[in-house]
Amino acid sequence: MFSKFLGLYKKELKIFFSQPIAYVLISVFVAIAGYFFAGITNYYSEVSLRSMNSYQQNMFDLTMLDGIFRPWFYNVAFILLLIMPLITMRAFAEEKREGTMELLFTFPVSDAAVVAAKFCGAYTVFLAMLAGALSPVVMLRFSSGFDIAPVAGGFIGLMLLGAAFIMLGTFISGLTENQIVAAVVTFAVLMFIWIIEWLSSVVDPAVGRVLSNISIIRHYDSFSKGVIDTADLVYYAVFIFIFYFLSLRVLESKQWRG
């Protein structure tokens, strides 16, 4: 069974990297993330230099974590929101449009393996992107030693956030045979569960608490501070599981198999 999954997974990667868009997406992401990192780092060093000169050193207690990494992590999360739908959009939509899904369904593999391979393929691409974005961080580490542990926490958070984005995008790709529709809808849904927290201030406080707990980015907050909270881990795990399960339902549904 595992070798079948591996075959599917390798196919996903081969197809992804056979398209120019793969390289464009990865380089754009790495470039934008690096650009933000440079900008934030510059600003931080200017501010900290100024505060040292003005003999108010003790007033400036903004750590590198709060001054550089937290804002940067939020920026990266937002760039992911824009780019991940483009990576997951073709997952099932393209197979459906091309009819290759018909053959896939008649191969001796389970739907579970098919969905898992789609997810893992996109996730591997995402990890490559993240590794690229990591390089300026590594360079900064050499020039000015900072505490690694909380930054690692932030990266673990990004890895979970990316997994959630991918699972949702894979599910939505199964609902249509048009890649563009898949990308736009994925983007809209991600955006919605990102900003749903804003509603919490205008509705009844009880409902508001629920809404802000649904918000995908709220659960990223502790990670960005380097804190790994079980509640957040559970949130992402449940989120991923729900959309994995829904993807399986979609594959079984009438829409695919008539």
20 lies in the binding site for another protein (CB under 8 A): no
- What whole-number distance in Å separates Cα of residue 87 and Cα of residue 25? 8
The interface region with another protein, picked from 37-45, 57-65, 94-102, 180-188 by CB under 8 A, is 94-102
Sign of CA dihedral 75, 76, 77, 80: positive
- What whole-number distance in Å separates Cα of residue 109 and Cα of residue 111? 7
Question: Site for another protein (CB under 8 A): how many residues?
Answer: 25
19 lies in the binding site for another protein (CB under 8 A): yes
In sequence order, which residues have a C-beta less than 8 Å from that of residue 145 and are 6 or more positions away?
A: none
255 lies in the binding site for another protein (CB under 8 A): no
Q: How far is the CB of 205 from another protein (least distance, A)?
A: 47
50 lies in the binding site for another protein (CB under 8 A): no
- What whole-number distance in Å separates Cα of residue 232 and Cα of residue 251? 29
Angle at 13 between CA 8 and CA 15, to 5 degrees: 95
Which residue in 15, 32, 233, 242 binds another protein (CB under 8 A)?
A: 15
Which residue in 38, 99, 139, 192 binds another protein (CB under 8 A)?
A: 99
120 lies in the binding site for another protein (CB under 8 A): no
Instruction: Choose between 118 and 219: whose C-beta lies nearer to another protein.
Output: 118
The interface region with another protein, picked from 95-103, 120-128, 152-160, 233-241 by CB under 8 A, is 95-103
The interface region with another protein, picked from 36-44, 93-101, 131-139, 224-232 by CB under 8 A, is 93-101
Which residue in 42, 110, 135, 201 binds another protein (CB under 8 A)?
A: 110
Which residue in 63, 100, 135, 201 binds another protein (CB under 8 A)?
A: 100
DSSP helix/strand/coil, 187: helix
Sign of CA dihedral 189, 191, 193, 199: negative
Instruction: Choose between 6 and 62: whose C-beta lies nearer to another protein.
Output: 6
Other residues' Cβ atoms within 10 Å of the Cβ of residue 72: 23
Which residue in 60, 74, 78, 105 binds another protein (CB under 8 A)?
A: 105
138 lies in the binding site for another protein (CB under 8 A): no
Which residue in 23, 35, 43, 107 binds another protein (CB under 8 A)?
A: 107
Beta carbons of 26 and 129 less than 8 angstroms apart: yes
Angle at 175 between CA 76 and CA 168, to 5 degrees: 25
249 lies in the binding site for another protein (CB under 8 A): no
Please compute, for residue 114, the number of CA atoms within 13 A of its CA located in the half-sphere on the CB side: 24
* Nearest alpha carbon to residue 65 among 227, 233, 219, 218: 227
14, two tokens: 């081969």
Q: Which residues bind another protein (CB under 8 A)?
A: 3-4, 6-8, 10-11, 14-15, 18-19, 98-103, 105-110, 257-258
